[in-house]
Amino acid sequence: MRIAVIQFPGTNCEHETLVAVKECGMDGEIFRWNRPEQELCEFDGYVIPGGFSYQDRVRAGVIASKEPVMATLREEAANGKPIIGICNGFQILVESGILPFGDGVRLALAQNVMIRGGEIVRRGYYCAWTMLRHDAEERRCSGSYILRRGEILSIPIAHAEGNLVSSDKKVIERLIEDDQIVFRYCSERGDIISEFPVNVNGSTENIAGICNPEGNVLGMMPHPERAFFAWQLPWKHPRVRGYGPGRIVFESMRRYIEERRL
């Protein structure tokens, strides 16, 4: 089972993401953006890690979205292979139009706007541990395949542009109706509160992660590879079988590929 961890100029989480992939029993390698794109087809799944591809020039993710490897990833997504985009990887998937519906740029990840008591209290880059509620059905999405609806994970974010918006209300309605909202920012008890600090970036409907209609492509702003090992967690955060909750995302990918093969 081979996973390609895609590296663009400016990606900066590829090594820890590859460690997470390998810890979950998958083989993997870092795949540079300028390798022949047809070599991507040999892999069973893909992770686009976080960072600042092309220094976020023009806007986060848009330059990387024009690279030939992204056209190949679009084809592999249509073939049902799993793709997980983390943070900048999510921004690239949105700018390439692979998320949310595969039919063009239907969303934007705009600058963070933190609102409390109806007032803007902060804007821009923010780095913090967040609570995420898994809002999709079990087995709905490749990156949360083994999570039940309502389970809560503690995973950190670190971004300036994670405020998911759309110019078309129907896009958000369709995401809700089709069960494509995978993770929402929530309180420790799992309540969805639209204000900061629960909603860390002002994202519509507290959305932290979404999948495509088929469920094989997941984009999420939080960094599961930074909550993978127990030693990465704050001392009072709950461990999952001795690991951090971020491991579940990579375990899910492995399970998704195994079951798809059967």
Distances (CA, A) of 29 to 10, 22, 72, 96, 253: 17, 9, 17, 23, 16
Interatomic CA distance for residues 83 and 98, integer angstroms: 10
Stretch (H or E) spanning 47:
strand 45-48
Q: Counting contacts by CB under 8 A, is residue 175 touching another protein? A: no
Interatomic CA distance for residues 10 and 114, integer angstroms: 26
Q: Counting contacts by CB under 8 A, is residue 113 touching another protein? A: yes
Stretch that binds another protein, among 13-21, 165-173, 183-191, 212-220 (CB under 8 A): 165-173
Catalytic residue among 24, 87, 141, 211: 87
Determine the 3-state secondary structure of 116 from DSSP: strand
Stretch that binds another protein, among 72-80, 130-138, 160-168, 251-259 (CB under 8 A): 160-168
Residue 99's nearest CA partner among 252, 207, 200 is: 207
Interatomic CA distance for residues 79 and 88, integer angstroms: 23
- Active-site annotation holds for 225: yes
Q: Counting contacts by CB under 8 A, is residue 106 touching another protein? A: yes
Q: Counting contacts by CB under 8 A, is residue 257 touching another protein? A: no
Q: How far apart are the first and last CA of the chain?
A: 13
Stretch that binds another protein, among 105-113, 149-157, 213-221, 237-245 (CB under 8 A): 105-113
Q: Counting contacts by CB under 8 A, is residue 124 touching another protein? A: yes
Q: Counting contacts by CB under 8 A, is residue 233 touching another protein? A: no
E strands, 117-162, in order = 119-123, 126-134, 152-159
Contact string 53-72 vs another protein (x = CB under 8 A): -xx-xxx--xx--xxx----
Q: Counting contacts by CB under 8 A, is residue 170 touching another protein? A: no
Interatomic CA distance for residues 95 and 54, integer angstroms: 14
Q: Counting contacts by CB under 8 A, is residue 166 touching another protein? A: yes
Least distance CB 50 / another protein (angstroms): 19
Q: Counting contacts by CB under 8 A, is residue 38 touching another protein? A: no
- Active-site annotation holds for 87: yes
Q: Give the amino acid at 219.
A: G
Interacting residue ranges for another protein, rule: CB under 8 A: 54-55, 57-59, 62-63, 66-68, 95, 105-108, 110-111, 113, 120, 123-124, 165-168
Catalytic residues: 87, 223, 225
